[in-house]
Amino acid sequence: MVKSAKCGTMPGEGPLSKDSLRQDFAKEYEKYYSTELFKEEGFVRKKCKLCGKYFWTADPNREICGSPDHEPYTFIKDKPIDIDLVSFWKKFAKFFKDNGHEIIESYPVVSRWRQDLYFVIAGIQDFQRIENGRMSFEYSANPLLVPQMCMRFSDIPNVGVSGRHGTSFIMANQTAFNYPKEGYWRDRTIELNFKVLKELLGLKKEEITYVEDVWAMGDFSEFGPDLETYSHGLELVNNVFTQFEYFNGRMRELDGKVVDVGWGFERLPWFLSGTHTMYDVIYKKELEYLYKSSGIKPDRVLYAKVAGALASIDIAENRGSKAEEEMLKRLGIDRNSYFNVIKPMQAMYAIADHARTIMFAVNDGALPSNVGGGYNLRVLLRRIFDFMEKYSLNFDLMRLIEIEAKNLKEMYPHIDESLNETSKVIEIEKGRYDKTKAEAKKIVEALLSKNKEITTEKLKTLYESHGITPDFISAAAKEKGIILEIPEDAYSEIMADDFVEARKKKNEVIEIDTTGIPPTEKLYYSFATEANAKVIKQEGNMLVLDKTPFYPEGGGQEADHGTINGIDVVDVKIANGLIVHFLKEAKHFSLGEIVECKVDKERRIRLMAHHTATHLISAAARKVLGKHAWQEGAKKGEDKAHIDISHYERLSDEQVKEIENTANAFITNGIKVTAKEMERKEAEGRFGFSIYQGHGVPSGKLRIVEIGDLNGNLIDAEACGGLHLVGKESEIGLIRIIGSYRIHDGIDRLEFVAGKAAVDYINSIEKEIKQIAAIASVDTDKVGQGIESKLAELKEVKKKYELIRDELAEKIAKNLTMEKEQVIIKELPYEREMLRKIALSVLELEKSKAVLLYNSDGDIVAVAGKDSSKSAIKLLNENAEKIAGKGNKVKGGGTDRIAEGKVLKQE
């Protein structure tokens, strides 16, 4: 669960690391690990003979902890039992419901509420909110159980191979919050745990071990002891007891402790069923379809021989296909049958997994792209296409996804809502893939002819700059008869990290010492534009007041401008609740002095109009394009604004127009804007996670900006700290989208104007039309038609002009060839293009000549005929100084045949 454990140092407590915590907790195991059930059922604590970890067992003969590192799976059956994932879920959910848990629906897989992650990587993440580096929990029931679909992309090479890894997986989170005030703790957790294993999986107590360990967030902000449950070589569940926090260099016990039991849910029906891989159970129908449509028959007997070994090799861990080769040798299995029979089976397992991941991600509005989390989705699709090609699999990817949606509908009732969009996304990505491939073939061929070794670094570059996947390279090489050693960790290398680096919010650094100063009182939320305030601190041109009507730059909205005691305020920023005004001049104020603040009202209203318009366009985009059209960024300035919207293809002019029309229709029908503080829980419950559109930070209390129509129907609701046209709705006037372009793959930017800025925009266009009309001497109302005929006229004139020019060039060239010299150097009163034409015409007539022409603007053109034994570039260099004049330089270049230069005159 922990991606990277960074070790910090706690004052007086030694280094904070999992190892030291493990030792600390083990010393007091009665306090941290022992439970009532262990005593009642006769579990005793032992130290593993192989890894040294402490574990609890009821089997007197057991000496090892039960980790799959030590023992093979012993739950695999010769005749597996048929178990259905969803039916098993119903039994599982009923068990927890009967034991006082509320069953809640899975959250989206795209992590909207915790923006340090692209996707949900663990069930507990549903309830975590991070604010100022501190974690808090938001939950609608307690205790609860949620079948959270999670995604992780770090193990791609193992997916389809190990029998249990997936890019998507269901973590059934059994969670109890806020102990001891609510919820429950270790005794109840392990009691329930044991009951599930006994009643639902039919296990005897001797078959179960509980291993002591430590769980921690990557930065140790929260941690606690955990008990991992193993049976027959498989880890079934991890029972985490989040008991401590580490904040501001101190470790302390949490007031509200959390039981976080993450059931690797799909392992349970697998364990019961006893098939060779987990995929055979969870993707039963999908695999049936894949085998049937591709005509491939699974060889289960052969698979049985390798399944155990495959479960224990980790090809993501740098060992590459060497690990597989070693395995084949050890088991005495023929290489050909492995690569021709087992590998295609593994490909189908991976395809079923990847398709499900794509389905869930797109349904929650994530799209393939070349950045961030979308990058991982593109890799998955390309892997599917690569597999289809490599093993000639003829199946319909959308059909496969429909089967998956149908299977999971009961557990995930909304899963089939975006199948149309998914289908479009796949179509577009396939088109891109085919195009890339044609290009890629050439690149790979060039690469192979030079060097047979392809490094992971090179693979990474090939993927990032050309979208060529490692599998594709190996296939292309094979076509050339070359067996390429592709490092199997290549995929782990090219995948984006689960954690969002770029989006991590950094506090703006303002060079002013703010220690001990209380947060500034914000008057702008009550729409004040004037106020008298007290000077709290001043440094240079930076001024801090006790309160202010000035809105500081934030949420893409530019800062208010105006004056303080008549001095211009040119910028306003906020850091840690403190608002800093930047003055045009550094005038001295005395501390405690009362100053007069005046906000530029015109600018304020323009910024507000653009902000409200942004929310309207965002709502319109979702209405026109679908719910995946997420707002990825925005900027609201005084004269114009923009919003970045995610969509799987470049927006057409029609779509842009439709978005504009929809937004304007909201306005014509009448809008009402309100802004009010709301409990986060209430806001998330009422409006869903789309309130985080503008990437607002989910804090305990949210400022919700709601736009509704006059009948009270909701148009848009977002957590937003910006200023809006509350009570001034008519100021929005109209919205005009003035430009649209793709800023990067998957995201389009719409530039727009609204309110007064829209009026300015229209006026400026009208003025321009009048000017053009005047120049073209046509009536402004007939400008279109007038310009058209004028343009046609202009074209004619230009054609005539070009004819005359060419004729002239030829004439001049003819005159020049009359001269006796082999090298002709001449100043002529024509522009560069004409000089070039003349010079080339001379050569056409006389191949033994060389010509250098220049004009008074400093343009130089030199050409040398084939039979001239002269070099044009030499000719240019030899004469440059003379033409340029003293102290001036000539910039230029060329070849022996033609060279050009320009005199750079010194100022």
| Interface ranges with Zn ion (CB under 5 A) | 48, 50-51, 65, 67, 694, 720, 722
| Nearer to Zn ion among residue 56 and residue 265 (C-beta) | 56
Q: Please report, for residues 181, 855, 888, 897, 899, the alpha-carbon distance to residue 859 in angstroms, rounded to integers and kept in the order given.
A: 85, 6, 13, 17, 11
| Nearer to Zn ion among residue 50 and residue 774 (C-beta) | 50
CB of 686 to Zn ion, least distance (A): 18
Token pair in block for residue 715: 């148009």
Integer Cα distance of 625 and 618 in angstroms:
10
Integer Cα distance of 786 and 776 in angstroms:
8
CB of 631 to Zn ion, least distance (A): 9
| Nearer to Zn ion among residue 209 and residue 548 (C-beta) | 209
| Nearer to Zn ion among residue 67 and residue 294 (C-beta) | 67
Token pair in block for residue 45: 């604590």
Q: What angle do CA 493, 495, 497 make, to 5 degrees?
A: 100
User: How many other C-beta atoms are found inside a 10 Å radius of the C-beta of residue 833?
Assistant: 12
Q: What's the number of CA atoms in the CB half-sphere (13 Å) around residue 552?
A: 21
Q: What angle do CA 860, 864, 868 make, to 5 degrees?
A: 145
CB of 583 to Zn ion, least distance (A): 28
CB of 109 to Zn ion, least distance (A): 25
CB of 29 to Zn ion, least distance (A): 16
| Nearer to Zn ion among residue 694 and residue 894 (C-beta) | 694
CB of 663 to Zn ion, least distance (A): 15
| Nearer to Zn ion among residue 650 and residue 676 (C-beta) | 676
What values do phi and psi take at 705, rounded to 5? -100, 120
DSSP 548: E
Token pair in block for residue 483: 């067996």
Integer Cα distance of 693 and 631 in angstroms:
6
Token pair in block for residue 56: 């609890």
156-159, Cβ contacts within 8 angstroms, sequence gap of 24 or more: 156/316, 156/379, 156/383, 156/491, 156/492, 156/495, 157/315, 157/316, 157/488, 157/489, 157/490, 157/491, 157/492, 158/314, 158/315, 158/316, 159/349, 159/350, 159/353, 159/354
CB of 209 to Zn ion, least distance (A): 9
Q: What is the DSSP string of 303-365?
A: HHHHHHHHHH--IIIIITTHHHHHHHHHHT--HHHIIIIIHHHHHHHHHHHHHHHHHHHHHTT
CB of 326 to Zn ion, least distance (A): 24
CB of 610 to Zn ion, least distance (A): 10
CB of 615 to Zn ion, least distance (A): 6
User: How many other C-beta atoms are found inside a 10 Å radius of the C-beta of residue 813?
Assistant: 20
CB of 556 to Zn ion, least distance (A): 7
| Nearer to Zn ion among residue 268 and residue 673 (C-beta) | 673
Integer Cα distance of 109 and 580 in angstroms:
39
| Nearer to Zn ion among residue 50 and residue 594 (C-beta) | 50
What values do phi and psi take at 582, rounded to 5? -105, 115
| Nearer to Zn ion among residue 48 and residue 397 (C-beta) | 48
CB of 718 to Zn ion, least distance (A): 5
For residues 735 and 617, the answer to whether their CB atoms sit within 8 Å is yes
For residues 734 and 664, the answer to whether their CB atoms sit within 8 Å is yes
Dihedral sign from CA coordinates of 310, 315, 319, 324: positive
| Placement of tokens 């593993």 in the chain | 48
For residues 640 and 751, the answer to whether their CB atoms sit within 8 Å is yes
Integer Cα distance of 130 and 117 in angstroms:
11
CB of 609 to Zn ion, least distance (A): 13
Token pair in block for residue 101: 């848990």
Token pair in block for residue 375: 């990058």
CB of 28 to Zn ion, least distance (A): 21
Q: What is the DSSP string of 890-905?
A: EEEEE-SSEEEEEEE-
| Nearer to Zn ion among residue 172 and residue 720 (C-beta) | 720
| Nearer to Zn ion among residue 203 and residue 634 (C-beta) | 634
| Nearer to Zn ion among residue 48 and residue 405 (C-beta) | 48
Q: What angle do CA 669, 670, 675 make, to 5 degrees?
A: 140
Q: What is the DSSP string of 842-889?
A: HHHH-TT-EEEEE-TTSEEEEEE-TTS---HHHHHHHHHHHHH-TT-E
Could you tell me which of 342, 333, 235, 261 has the C-alpha nearest to residue 299?
Answer: 342
| Nearer to Zn ion among residue 279 and residue 551 (C-beta) | 551
For residues 139 and 177, the answer to whether their CB atoms sit within 8 Å is yes
CB of 286 to Zn ion, least distance (A): 35
| Nearer to Zn ion among residue 143 and residue 722 (C-beta) | 722
Q: What angle do CA 178, 181, 185 make, to 5 degrees?
A: 65
CB of 681 to Zn ion, least distance (A): 21
CB of 46 to Zn ion, least distance (A): 10
| Nearer to Zn ion among residue 113 and residue 169 (C-beta) | 113
User: How many other C-beta atoms are found inside a 10 Å radius of the C-beta of residue 108?
Assistant: 22
CB of 69 to Zn ion, least distance (A): 7
Identity at 54, one-letter amino acid code: Y
| Nearer to Zn ion among residue 109 and residue 723 (C-beta) | 723
| Nearer to Zn ion among residue 719 and residue 834 (C-beta) | 719
| Placement of tokens 């929990």 in the chain | 137
For residues 313 and 327, the answer to whether their CB atoms sit within 8 Å is yes
Integer Cα distance of 400 and 396 in angstroms:
6
Identity at 541, one-letter amino acid code: N
Could you tell me which of 836, 899, 826 has the C-alpha nearest to residue 862?
Answer: 899
Identity at 12, one-letter amino acid code: G
| Nearer to Zn ion among residue 266 and residue 716 (C-beta) | 716
